[in-house]
């Protein structure tokens, strides 16, 4: 078996497609090398070795040692240095690399191969003793903390001690002798802590580092991360061993981390950070402030790589074009410049914000790098959601506290908390919180998730907080150096102002600004790219997208977002208005039909107005109106004072009131007197609603010439007869209104399919209905026998234990509820091939459920107005 794959120096055994075997890092190093990019030579020990290692009591396959030796010899030959050679030593890095990038894995060890002899060789070969001793101490420090598990503070103490002794404050002032002293101190300390001298044999160092990478695959942090992200343990990690190049050999050396486009905005400009005369992790460590890549991105006082190292920069710009063309996606790259020569150390598809993912997809299609269809596939519909959220009102007054880096866009407002646990606890109680940390680490993920926004005082655009926040879509201001955080005192301070824990701040993740108090927000501006992508999506989708809306405001928003009609107008929402609730209660309390009709007559003009408004906004588009659905007692007052007030306004006494309320009370209202059952027991209710609909339809049809398309929907139908009876009432009212007005409007009468019986007898129901709309909220409740309002007590546990793969109220249960939908579709269409079919539950805005709707052959989905764009894109992806 081949356990080791070489890359670089013209011998590439791997490629990008081999990510499962070589891990993402190894596969892409080989790919970059094979398209002619400058990659220091090295080799990848496969993920299969990791699996073997754990399957065989932590032993390696027999052939491994020889294969590593052969691959190492090839690297030695390519570089011209030998591992452990006293005069010209080869140094390597040992890097972990799973299929997907995984925090929790072992950190990289650089400069491996240095020891008391080779350090002199490095000094002589480079002509720079300071560089050699600095490299050696870095190696002991990394190897010591990462492989030997020595607390990193122990190393810092020793450096501090030497600096203090020499009266120096900056690392840069330390000489070769000083670093030599640091190395001596390190070795002594490591020997003391581990009980063994620091390993001097380069081969022993190498195998210890390899073992540490494999060992880290099963450490607690990695296990937690895998569990949270559904990554199987048997994927394993690969180990990459690569010849070192040095970004810390002088002023013509540098190291950097960057993106081929701006990962926040998507702007087509080189974006990232580099440091002159630095090695590896220095850029993210935040000891020195990294500088920008492109001059366009440089602020006063900053020195861009474009200006400081024009030749290497130009080379990097070419690499950027080549990489994007090759991978046809934005790349996140790591590089090092050694004496003006560029080396590529990593590439992968870059993480980006929702805004950036939209812009990059549209730009790349327009640049011809990808097709329009590919652009539609690239944008995650759920991420699109983020773009539709508010930003700070530019005109609102505000009080600036300080400024940091604009690490993840969007605005957030909430109370200040200083720990992830507190963020989680408070958010669970419904509070909006801003998590404030000096910096974040993987242990803070739960708090970052719970928070509305994240503020850190340390770290750059590629810091943990920034990367994670962008991925989660949380607004984030990072590296706000002007802010001091005192965890103990629960206070943050900046420029003489202070904010305590529990007080409110507002973050603008797009500008990096931090404000005291809450700043009003405004609706998002939907950019040109947004509508361009939506246009491409609309061109390929089959499913229509409607909105659930009953107010003019919601209907307007829905139209703005491209809804093609209303799929669900819940008329009972129109009953709660203070001007109407009195008449509603009067209707409910009446014990006679006459009393009810009197009260309903008062409601008629209101309802007519409501529907006329919706018809005008939805000019010419279908509007599905569901007649009264909830049990009546939901409209009754609950407090004694309210009941007394109602009794008085209705001219009765409190006792009568209470008796009537008691009559209406039900043990299980969800399965009680509601839906069409009400319409059948009190026909006057549906008659009034139907009259309001038809009168409004006639009214608006007359004024606009563009007739509305009312679709009257009867809820909670279980039998054909129920629909037949209610439909007859509605048809009768229609004839009356058309006769009175001398005007005719087309309309449909259909039903919700939200009970299993309705689904199973859909052929009979379809005979008397013009359309079905799957009410998957109730259908899920009735299929599972599960009350949505009570599910919170155990459903999360079910999902956690995998008893249910997902919350069935969020994503449709394809096997059960979906089967009922399919049966109803098939039976319904068997009697009426043109039966209109839609879905109006919460699922109508969920991408996975939309995929199901596409497969089931529905005509449209209907969702809340803000989710309309998400649904349009998801519907397009479902059709592709
Ligand atoms: P991570 O997965 O945490 O990014 P990497 O394995 O990419 O870890 O290593 C981190 C950094 O170490 C790289 O970005 C690079 O700067 C540096 N590095 C790794 N290997 C080498 C090498 N062979 N020569 C020079 N620097 C290296
Ligand atoms: Mg790292
Ligand atoms: Mg890396």
pLDDT over 90 percentage in the chain: 74
Q: What does the pLDDT look like over 307-334, one tens digit per residue?
A: 999 999 999 999 999 999 999 999 999 9
Buried b (16+ CB within 10 A) or exposed e, 215-238: ebbeeeebeebbeeeebeeebbbb
CA 290-295-299 angle, 5° bins: 60
User: What gap in Å lies between CA 245 and CA 111, rounded to an integer?
Assistant: 9
CATH homologous superfamily, domain 4-243? ATP-grasp fold, A domain (3.30.1490.20)
Please indicate whether residue 253 is annotated as part of the active site. no
- pLDDT at 474 (0 to 100): 84
Protein residue whose Cα sits closest to atom 3 of ligand 1: 107
Q: Picking from 193-207, 331-345, 376-390, which range would have the lowest pLDDT averaged per residue?
A: 376-390
Binding-site residue numbers for Mg(2+) are 754, 778
Higher pLDDT, 423 or 865: 423
Q: What does the pLDDT look like over 571-591, one tens digit per residue?
A: 987 887 778 888 999 899 888
Give the three-class secondary structure for 793.
helix
Q: Where are the domains of the chain?
A: 4-243, 254-352, 389-522, 541-568+605-631+676-879
- pLDDT at 696 (0 to 100): 96
Query: Which of 159, 153, 157 has its CA nearest to residue 133?
Result: 159
Protein residue whose Cα sits closest to atom 7 of ligand 1: 346
Please indicate whether residue 840 is annotated as part of the active site. yes
Binding-site residue numbers are 570, 626, 754, 775-778
User: What gap in Å lies between CA 700 and CA 618, rounded to an integer?
Assistant: 11
* pLDDT surpassing 90 at residue 107: no
Please state the atom number of ligand 1 nearest to the C-alpha of residue 335. Answer: 16
- pLDDT at 389 (0 to 100): 67
- pLDDT at 662 (0 to 100): 87
User: What gap in Å lies between CA 15 and CA 797, rounded to an integer?
Assistant: 42
User: What gap in Å lies between CA 837 and CA 858, rounded to an integer?
Assistant: 5
The mean pLDDT of the chain is 92
CATH homologous superfamily, domain 254-352? ATP-grasp fold, B domain (3.30.470.20)
Instruction: Name every residue whose Cβ is closer than 8 Å to that of residue 872 and which is 6 or more positions away in sequence.
Output: 534, 537, 538, 541, 545, 562
pLDDT confidence band for 249 (50 / 70 / 90): very high
Q: Picking from 120-124, 799-803, 857-861, which range would have the lowest pLDDT averaged per residue?
A: 799-803
- The set of protein residues with a Cβ atom below 6 angstroms from ligand 1 is 40, 93, 95, 108, 110, 242-245, 255, 280-281, 334, 336, 345-346
Instruction: Name every residue whose Cβ is closer than 8 Å to that of residue 797 and which is 6 or more positions away in sequence.
Output: none
Mutate to test the pocket of ligand 1, among 108, 257, 350 (most ligand atoms within 8 A of CB): 108
User: What gap in Å lies between CA 424 and CA 426, rounded to an integer?
Assistant: 6
Is CATH 3.20.20.60 the classification given to domain 541-568+605-631+676-879? yes
Query: Which one of 180, 258, 413, 464 is the catalytic residue?
Result: 464
Binding-site residue numbers for substrate are 570, 626, 754, 775-778
* Residue 77 CB neighbours (<10 A): 12
- pLDDT at 864 (0 to 100): 84
Higher pLDDT, 183 or 665: 183
Give the largest Cα separation in the chain, rounded: 107
User: What gap in Å lies between CA 565 and CA 850, rounded to an integer?
Assistant: 17
* pLDDT surpassing 80 at residue 792: no
User: What gap in Å lies between CA 804 and CA 185, rounded to an integer?
Assistant: 56
Which of 278-282, 410-414, 642-646 holds the top average pLDDT? 410-414
CA 595-570-578 angle, 5° bins: 55
Task: Taking residues 79-99, report their average pLDDT.
Answer: 96
User: What gap in Å lies between CA 739 and CA 737, rounded to an integer?
Assistant: 5
- pLDDT at 471 (0 to 100): 63
Query: Which of 429, 419, 496, 430 has its CA nearest to residue 454?
Result: 419
Please state the atom number of ligand 1 nearest to the C-alpha of residue 42. Answer: 23
Protein residue whose Cα sits closest to atom 11 of ligand 1: 280
- pLDDT at 747 (0 to 100): 97
Mutate to test the pocket of ligand 1, among 7, 33, 94, 95 (most ligand atoms within 8 A of CB): 95
Strands 622-626 and 566-570: parallel
Higher pLDDT, 373 or 383: 373
User: What gap in Å lies between CA 486 and CA 457, rounded to an integer?
Assistant: 11
Angle, in degrees to the nearest 10, between helices 847-856 and 868-879? 50
Residues in the chain, overall count = 880
Protein residue whose Cα sits closest to atom 24 of ligand 1: 244
* Residue 662 CB neighbours (<10 A): 9
How far is residue 812 from each of residues 543, 815, 818, 821, measured CA to CA in Å? 17, 9, 7, 10
Task: Taking residues 408-419, report their average pLDDT.
Answer: 92
Query: Which one of 476, 569, 840, 853 is the catalytic residue?
Result: 840
User: Which of the following CATH numbers is that of domain 389-522: 3.10.20.30, 3.40.640.10, 3.50.30.10, 1.10.3720.10?
Assistant: 3.50.30.10
- Residue 43 CA: which ligand is closest? 1
User: What gap in Å lies between CA 696 and CA 684, rounded to an integer?
Assistant: 18
- pLDDT at 286 (0 to 100): 67
Say if residues 104 and 225 touch (Cβ distance below 8 Å): yes
Q: Which helix (H) or strand (E) holds 211?
A: helix 202-216
What does the radius of gyration of the chain's CA atoms come to, in whole angstroms? Answer: 34
Q: Do 254-352 and 4-243 fall under one CATH topology?
A: no
**Whole-prediction pTM value?**
0.81
CA 225-226-231 angle, 5° bins: 145
Q: How far is the CA of 360 from the centre of ligand 3 (A)?
A: 22
Instruction: Name every residue whose Cβ is closer than 8 Å to that of residue 45 and which is 6 or more positions away in sequence.
Output: 3, 4, 64, 68, 210, 238, 239, 240, 241
Please state the atom number of ligand 1 nearest to the C-alpha of residue 283. Answer: 16
- pLDDT at 341 (0 to 100): 96
Q: What does the pLDDT look like over 442-498, one tens digit per residue?
A: 778 889 989 999 999 988 776 788 877 876 768 999 989 999 999 999 999 998 999
Predicted interface score ipTM higher than 0.95? yes
Please state the atom number of ligand 1 nearest to the C-alpha of residue 240. Answer: 6
Buried b (16+ CB within 10 A) or exposed e, 154-193: bbeebbeebbeeeeeeeeeebeeebbbbbbebbbebbeee
Mutate to test the pocket of ligand 1, among 8, 23, 91, 346 (most ligand atoms within 8 A of CB): 346
How far is residue 444 from each of residues 229, 419, 449, 450, 492, measured CA to CA in Å? 16, 8, 9, 10, 19
Q: How far is the CA of 312 from the centre of ligand 2 (A)?
A: 24
Buried b (16+ CB within 10 A) or exposed e, 41-68: bbbbbbbbbbbbbeeeeeebeeebeebb
Beta-ladder partners of 271:
259
Q: What does the pLDDT look like over 599-640, one tens digit per residue?
A: 999 999 999 999 999 999 998 899 999 999 999 888 888 778
- Residue 283 CA: which ligand is closest? 1
User: What gap in Å lies between CA 779 and CA 629, rounded to an integer?
Assistant: 14
How far is residue 355 from each of residues 6, 170, 276, 369, 874, measured CA to CA in Å? 38, 40, 31, 19, 17
Beta-carbon neighbours within 5 Å of ion ligand 2: 107
* pLDDT surpassing 80 at residue 385: no
Task: Taking residues 345-358, report their average pLDDT.
Answer: 92
CA 499, distance to chain mean position in Å, is 29
- Residue 334 CA: which ligand is closest? 1
Give the three-class secondary structure for 256.
strand
């Amino acid at each position: 078996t081949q356990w080791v794959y070489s890359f670089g120096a013209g011998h590439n055994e791997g490629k990008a497609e081999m990510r499962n075997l070589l891990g993402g890092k190894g596969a892409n190093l080989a790919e970059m090398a094979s398209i002619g990019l400058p990659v220091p030579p090295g080799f990848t020990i496969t993920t299969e070795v990791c699996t073997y290692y754990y399957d065989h009591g932590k032993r390696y396959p027999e052939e491994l040692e020889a294969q590593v030796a052969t691959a190492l010899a090839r690297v030695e030959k390519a570089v011209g240095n030998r591992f452990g050679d006293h005069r010209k030593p080869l140094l390597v890095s040992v890097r972990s690399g799973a299929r997907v990038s995984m925090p929790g894995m072992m950190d990289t060890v650089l400069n491996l191969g240095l020891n008391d002899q080779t350090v002199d060789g490095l000094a002589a070969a480079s002509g720079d003793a300071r560089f050699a001793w600095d490299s050696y101490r870095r190696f002991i420090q990394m190897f010591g903390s990462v492989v030997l598990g020595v607390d990193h503070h122990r190393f810092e103490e020793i450096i501090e001690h030497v600096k203090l002794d020499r009266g120096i404050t900056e690392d840069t002032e330390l000489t070769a002798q000083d670093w030599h002293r640091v190395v001596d101190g390190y070795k002594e300390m490591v020997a003391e802590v581990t009980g063994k001298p620091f390993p001097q044999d380069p081969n022993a160092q190498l195998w210890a580092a390899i073992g540490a990478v494999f060992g880290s695959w099963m450490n607690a942090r990695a296990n937690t991360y895998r569990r949270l992200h559904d990554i199987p343990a048997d994927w394993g990690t690969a180990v990459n061993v690569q010849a070192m190049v040095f970004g810390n050999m002088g002023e013509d050396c540098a190291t950097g981390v960057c993106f081929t486009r701006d990962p926040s905005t998507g702007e087509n400009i080189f974006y990232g950070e580099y440091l002159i005369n630095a090695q590896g992790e220095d850029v993210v460590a935040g000891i020195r402030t990294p500088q920008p890549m492109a001059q366009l991105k440089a602020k006063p006082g900053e020195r861009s790589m474009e200006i400081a190292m024009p030749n290497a920069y130009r080379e990097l710009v070419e690499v950027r074009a080549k990489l994007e063309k090759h991978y046809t996606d934005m790349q996140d790259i790591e590089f090092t410049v050694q004496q003006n020569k560029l080396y590529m150390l990593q590439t992968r598809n870059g993480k980006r914000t929702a805004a950036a993912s939209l812009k990059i997809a549209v730009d790349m299609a327009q640049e011809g790098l990808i097709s329009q269809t590919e652009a539609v596939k690239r944008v995650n519909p759920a991420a699109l959601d983020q773009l539709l959220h508010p930003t700070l009102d530019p005109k609102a007054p505000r009080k600036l506290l300080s400024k940091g880096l604009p690490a993840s866009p969007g605005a957030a407002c909430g109370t200040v908390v200083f720990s992830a646990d507190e963020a989680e606890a408070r958010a669970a109680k419904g509070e909006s919180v801003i998590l404030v940390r000096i910096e974040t680490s993987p242990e803070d993920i739960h708090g970052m998730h719970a928070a509305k926004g994240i503020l850190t005082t340390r770290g750059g655009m590629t810091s943990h907080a920034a990367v994670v926040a962008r991925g989660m879509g949380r607004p984030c201001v990072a590296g706000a150096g002007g802010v001091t955080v005192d965890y103990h005192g629960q206070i943050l301070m900046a420029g003489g102002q202070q904010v305590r824990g529990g007080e409110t701040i507002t973050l603008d993740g797009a500008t990096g600004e931090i404000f005291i108090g809450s700043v009003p927000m405004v609706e998002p501006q939907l950019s040109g790219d947004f509508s361009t992508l939506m246009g491409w999506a609309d061109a390929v989708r089959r499913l229509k997208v409607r909105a659930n809306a009953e107010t003019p405001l919601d209907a307007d928003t829905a139209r703005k977002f491209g809804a093609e009609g209303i799929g669900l107008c819940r008329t009972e929402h129109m009953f709660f208005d203070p001007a109407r609730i009195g008449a509603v209660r009067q209707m409910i309390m009446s014990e006679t039909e006459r009393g009810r009709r009197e009260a309903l007559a008062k409601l008629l003009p209101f309802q007519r107005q409501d529907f006329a408004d919706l018809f005008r906004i939805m000019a010419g588009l279908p509007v599905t109106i569901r007649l009264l659905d909830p049990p009546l007692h939901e409209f009754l007052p609950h407090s004694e004072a309210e009941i007394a007030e109602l009794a008085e306004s209705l001219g009765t006494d409190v006792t009568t009131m209470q008796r009537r309320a008691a009559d209406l009370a039900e043990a299980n209202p969800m399965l009680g007197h509601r839906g069409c059952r009400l319409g059948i027991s009190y026909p006057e209710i549906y008659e009034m609603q139907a009259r309001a609909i038809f009168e409004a339809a006639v009214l608006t049809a007359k004024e606009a010439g563009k007739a509305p398309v009312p679709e009257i929907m009867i809820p909670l139908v279980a039998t054909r007869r129920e629909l037949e009876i209610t439909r007859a009432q509605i048809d009768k009212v229609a004839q009356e209104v058309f006769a009175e007005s001398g005007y005719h409007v087309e309309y449909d009468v259909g039903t919700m399919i939200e009970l299993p019986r309705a689904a199973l007898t859909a052929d009979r129901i379809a005979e008397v209905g013009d359309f079905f709309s799957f009410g998957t909220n109730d259908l899920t409740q009735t299929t599972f026998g599960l009350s949505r309002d009570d599910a919170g007590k155990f459903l999360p546990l079910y999902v956690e234990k995998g008893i249910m793969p997902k919350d069935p109220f969020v994503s449709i249960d394809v096997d059960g509820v979906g089967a009922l939908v399919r049966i109803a579709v098939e039976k319904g269409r068997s009697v009426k091939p043109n039966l209109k079919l839609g879905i109006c539950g919460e699922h109508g805005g969920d991408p996975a459920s939309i995929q199901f709707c596409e497969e089931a052959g529905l005509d449209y989905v209907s969702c809340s107005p803000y989710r309309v764009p998400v649904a349009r894109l998801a519907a397009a992806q479902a059709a592709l």
